[in-house]
């Protein structure tokens, strides 16, 4: 069983408070890219979108991926993913959690992530750092970090369903909020495997990122 949660309830503060899931790239909303990427492999999928649009977008997305469900987002990303988790079926399987702002997920990377999650129970895709990294002490350099041991983490992150649900339960009980899903899993003393990510699996965070996104989009269209 492959379950997918697409986290797309962000308000898009850096995009004029326009929900990022509904920002248009190449003439269509970002949410469609993620739905189409996962639909061929997902047994069930939940898109978490801004509250109030669940019925409208469940109908729209259902044309692209029949059976998809839409959950209302929460105050924080973690709350949104938790709402998505509640809509998934019981039983065993792998859950992939993906950010809607990453539209360029390749089938090769997705296959690597699913395979690693089935083998290790928890995994995240990552890329190596190319710049020197400094740790600050106030306005000064405190120390230079060993970048060979540091990585930038991407999504989708993948976990056995029982591992992720347990991690979310423990975080809720302790009132802990993390910057991604894997940190919640790490807190349960579960080791998270690192999968080689891809440079084109960018996260559209700032308006300037759209220039790179359009370049990648044109490249992908030519390769079709």
Q: In the chain, which residues have pLDDT < 50? A: none
pLDDT in tens, 58-115: 999 999 999 999 999 999 999 999 999 999 999 999 999 999 999 999 999 999 999 9
pLDDT at 19: 87
pLDDT at 18: 80
CA gyration radius for the chain? 18
Strands 140-145, 133-137: pairing is antiparallel
| CATH code, domain carrying 34 | 3.90.550.10
State the total domains in the chain: 1
Q: Which of 128, 135, 186 is nearest to 157 (CA)?
A: 186
Distance CA 29, CA 142 (A): 43
| Tokens matching residue 58 | 């469940």
Phi, psi for 53 (deg, rounded to 5): -115, 15
pLDDT at 222: 87
pLDDT at 10: 84
Structural domain including 6 reads 2-223
Distance CA 23, CA 163 (A): 33
């Amino acid at each position: 069983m492959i379950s997918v949660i697409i986290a797309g309830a962000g308000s898009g503060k850096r995009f004029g408070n326009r929900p990022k899931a509904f920002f248009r790239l190449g003439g269509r909303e970002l949410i469609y890219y993620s739905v189409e990427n996962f639909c061929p492999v997902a047994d069930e999928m939940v898109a978490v979108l801004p509250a109030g649009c669940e019925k409208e977008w469940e109908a729209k997305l259902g044309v692209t991926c029949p059976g998809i469900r839409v959950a209302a987002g929460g105050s924080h990303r973690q709350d949104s993913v938790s709402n998505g988790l509640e809509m998934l079926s019981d039983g065993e399987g792998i859950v992939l959690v993906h950010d809607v702002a990453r539209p360029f997920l390749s089938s090769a990377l997705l296959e690597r992530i699913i395979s690693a999650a089935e083998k290790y129970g928890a995994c995240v895709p990552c890329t190596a750092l190319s710049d020197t990294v400094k740790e600050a002490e106030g306005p000064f350099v405190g120390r230079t970090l060993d970048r060979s041991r540091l990585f930038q983490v991407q999504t989708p992150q993948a976990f056995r369903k029982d591992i992720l649900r347990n991690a979310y339960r423990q975080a809720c009980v302790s009132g802990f909020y993390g910057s991604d899903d894997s940190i919640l899993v790490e807190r349960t003393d579960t080791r998270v495997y690192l999968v080689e990510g891809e440079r084109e699996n960018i996260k559209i965070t700032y308006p300037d990122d759209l220039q790179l996104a359009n370049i990648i989009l044109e490249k992908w269209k030519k390769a079709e």
